[in-house]
Structure 1
Amino acid sequence: MSGVLDVLFLTPSGETLPSVRFRVLPFVQASREAGLAPALAPALAVDWRRAPKAIHKRLAFLLTLPRATVIVIQQKLFAPFELALIRRRCQRLAYDLDDALWALHPADIGRPGSAEKSAKIARRFAETCARVDLVIAGNTYLAEHAKAHQQNIFVLPTLIDTRKYAPAPPDAASVPPFRVGWMGTSGNLWFLPEVLRELAPHQQRLEIRVVSDRPYEGELEELVRFERWSAQFEPDQLRGFQCGLMPLTDDEYTRGKCGFKILQYMASGVVPIASAVGFNREIIRHGVDGFLVQQPGDWAKYALRLADDPDLLERMAQAARQTAEQRFSLEAQTPRLWAALGVGQQRGERDASGGQRT
Structure 2
Amino acid sequence: MKVCYFTKYSRKGASSRLRSFQYFPGLKSTGVEVSSSVLFDDAYIQKKYRGGFPVLQVIRAYFNRTWRLLSSRKFDVIVIEKELFPYLPPFSEWLLKVFGIPYVLDFDDAIFHNYDKSTNALVRLFFQKKIDKIMKWSSGVVVGNDYLKNRAIEAKAGFITLIPTVVDLKRYEESNHSHNPKERMVIGWIGSPSTFQYLRQIEAVLEKAVSQWNVAICIVGANESLSFQDHVSYVDWTENTEVSSIMNFDVGIMPLDDSPWSKGKCAYKLIQYMACKLPVIASPVGANKEVVAHGINGYLAATEAAWLECIGDYLQNPSKREEHGKKGFEKVQKEYNLDQATKRWLGVLKKVSKS
1:11 paired to 2:19 = no
Alignment partners' CA distance in 1, 2:5 and 2:170:
24
Contact kept in structure 2, 1:198 and 1:300, CA below 8 Å: yes
Structure 1 pair 167–294 and aligned structure 2 pair: CA distance change class (3 A) = farther
Alignment partners' CA distance in 2, 1:185 and 1:201:
24
Structure 1 pair 60–289 and aligned structure 2 pair: CA distance change class (3 A) = same
Q: Which residue is 1:132 aligned to?
A: 138
1:103 paired to 2:113 = yes
Please report how far the alpha carbon of residue 342 of structure 1 lies from its aligned counterpart in structure 2 after TM superposition.
1.9
Q: Which residue is 1:206 aligned to?
A: 215
Report Cα offsets for 1:168-209 as digits up to 9, x if no partner.
Answer: 536452222000011001011111123220121221511111
Tell me, which stretches of 5 or more residues in structure 2 are unaligned? 41-57
1:22 paired to 2:42 = no
1:144 paired to 2:170 = no
Contact kept in structure 1, 2:96 and 2:102, CA below 8 Å: no
Q: More deviation in 170-179 or 305-314?
A: 170-179
Alignment partners' CA distance in 2, 1:197 and 1:139:
30
**Count, aligned residues:** 329
Letter in 1 for 2:31: A
Contact kept in structure 1, 2:97 and 2:137, CA below 8 Å: no
Report Cα offsets for 1:13-47 as digits up to 9, x if no partner.
Answer: 11111111111012112234x2xxxxxxx332222
Q: Which residue is 1:183 aligned to?
A: 190
Report Cα offsets for 1:105-158 as digits up to 9, x if no partner.
Answer: 9xx975xxx443455553321221122111111111101111122132111111
Q: Secondary structure at the match of 1:297?
A: helix
Structure 1 pair 197–120 and aligned structure 2 pair: CA distance change class (3 A) = farther
1:50 paired to 2:38 = yes
Share of identical aligned residues, percent?
Answer: 23
Please report how far the alpha carbon of residue 228 of structure 1 lies from its aligned counterpart in structure 2 after TM superposition.
0.8
Report Cα offsets for 1:79-105 as digits up to 9, x if no partner.
Answer: 332124545787421111011011149
Structure 1 pair 115–8 and aligned structure 2 pair: CA distance change class (3 A) = same
1:233 paired to 2:241 = yes
Q: Which residue is 1:81 aligned to?
A: 91
Alignment partners' CA distance in 2, 1:139 and 1:309:
32
1:154 paired to 2:161 = yes
Please report how far the alpha carbon of residue 65 of structure 1 lies from its aligned counterpart in structure 2 after TM superposition.
4.0
Q: 2:70 aligns with which of 63, 73, 76?
A: 63
* TM superposition score normalised by structure 1: 0.84
Contact kept in structure 2, 1:193 and 1:220, CA below 8 Å: no
Structure 1 pair 202–209 and aligned structure 2 pair: CA distance change class (3 A) = same
Please report how far the alpha carbon of residue 280 of structure 1 lies from its aligned counterpart in structure 2 after TM superposition.
0.8
Alignment partners' CA distance in 2, 1:117 and 1:223:
44
Q: Secondary structure at the match of 2:154?
A: coil
Alignment partners' CA distance in 2, 1:125 and 1:222:
45
Tell me, which stretches of 5 or more residues in structure 1 are unaligned? 35-41, 348-356
Alignment partners' CA distance in 1, 2:63 and 2:174:
47
Letter in 1 for 2:66: L
Contact kept in structure 1, 2:77 and 2:101, CA below 8 Å: yes
For the aligned residue pairs, the C-alpha RMSD in angstroms reads 2.6
* TM superposition score normalised by structure 2: 0.85
Q: Which residue is 1:285 aligned to?
A: 293
Contact kept in structure 2, 1:63 and 1:85, CA below 8 Å: no
Structure 1 pair 285–152 and aligned structure 2 pair: CA distance change class (3 A) = same
Contact kept in structure 1, 2:112 and 2:128, CA below 8 Å: yes
